[in-house]
Amino acid sequence: MSETVLQAGVDIAGLSFDPVAVSEPLMWLVLAAFLGSVAVAQYDERLARPVATVGWGLFAVYWLALAPHFILIQKSVVEGLGSIIAVPLSLYTGYLLWNGRESLLVLTRAIGIMGVIYVPFLTIGPLRQIIIEIVTDQVAFLMTLIGYDPMVVSGLSHNGIDIASKQYPYENTFWFGEHERPITYTIILACTGIGSISIFAGGILAVRAPWRRKLRVLVVAVGIIYVLNLLRNLGIALAFGLQKAQFFPGAIMALFGLSDAQLVSYYIVDRMLAQFGSVIVLVGLTWVLMRELPELTVIIEDLLFLVTGTEYDLGTAFEKNQSESSPATPGDD
């Protein structure tokens, strides 16, 4: 692309290495350890604990390696803070597993399943291209419904960084040419919602519950996340491309270390409103799904214990609520 084009979120200045490239080998080791613990647990959960413990240690290193990508490249408060917090939490999880908290094997299994769903999209170029271009086309269609006629052009290839060896002819970039310098908004893998979908799918499929109920909850979760993600991309693309959120430019530029005022709309809508809003929505969705699938509380209780150090009994409350509101249906198992 021409140097006159303004593209959000792709500045890699100041880094002497690519955090994503460094983290990818670690990702495979983590996935192997987590799935290995799942396999071993079929025979003896006590033997699965040390395998899972190694996996959690590697998971801490993975987040440590990836943190610069979110902090320095993406300049994301939510993702950057999350990656930093994930390091001690992963180490603490491994410590608790090693010392006998076997309920954490469910969380380990959930992350293993999440990896099985997410990693193919991350590592297989044609598969990644398909989902990126589908989301791009659907966001473009939504734009036409509200009166805009977007121009979609070939954009960046992988993780928002245009590297020749990884370049694919993706039709994934919205071009807004009505400004002094054209503005582009590129749909990359992180914009497709597959990350959030894989997290929820991993949790739902990892718990022990009737398959019919798990699949019903999974369909609901995937549908809600996918639709909300399309709306999120629609809002970010239009707000940034049309410069509709140029609020407090001086303060925002100072906060994120920006040198171009045209990026203010992007950072307000995406890095602040959309990302913090997504956290709130996903927490609310988790609460709703636990009402339909109380078995998920095993994972949530462990997560709350990791963060607060306090034991919670959410399962009893949700199971009681379900039994009072939903009579048993024959054949649900």
Q: Where are the alpha helices (DSSP H) in 146-210?
A: 194-206
What angle do helix axes 104-123 and 125-145 make, rounded to 10 degrees?
90
In our burial notation (b when 16+ CB lie closer than 10 A, e otherwise), range 121-150 reads bbeeeeebbeebbebbebbbebbeeeebeb
Looking only at the bridges linking them, the beta strands covering 183-186 and 171-176 are antiparallel
Residues recognised as catalytic: 191, 232
Residue 199 has which token pair?
A: 């997290």
Residue 285 neighbours by CB under 8 Å, 6+ apart:
200, 221, 224, 225
Q: Which residue in 84, 68, 77, 79 sits closest to 13, CA to CA?
A: 68
- Please, which residues bridge with residue 183 across strands? 6, 176
| Interatomic CA distance for residues 31 and 59, integer angstroms | 9
Joined tokens for residue 224: 């809600």
β pairing state of 183-186 and 6-7: parallel
- Please give the structure tokens belonging to residue 253: 């530029």
Task: Tell me the CA distances in angstroms from 252 to 180, 229, 237, 264, 270, one per residue in order.
Answer: 21, 24, 18, 6, 13
Segment holding 21, helix H or strand E: helix 19-41
State how far the Cα of 55 lies from the Cα of 303, in Å rounded to an integer: 17
Instruction: Indicate the SS3 state at residue 253.
Output: helix
- φ, ψ (nearest 5 deg) of residue 153: -130, 175
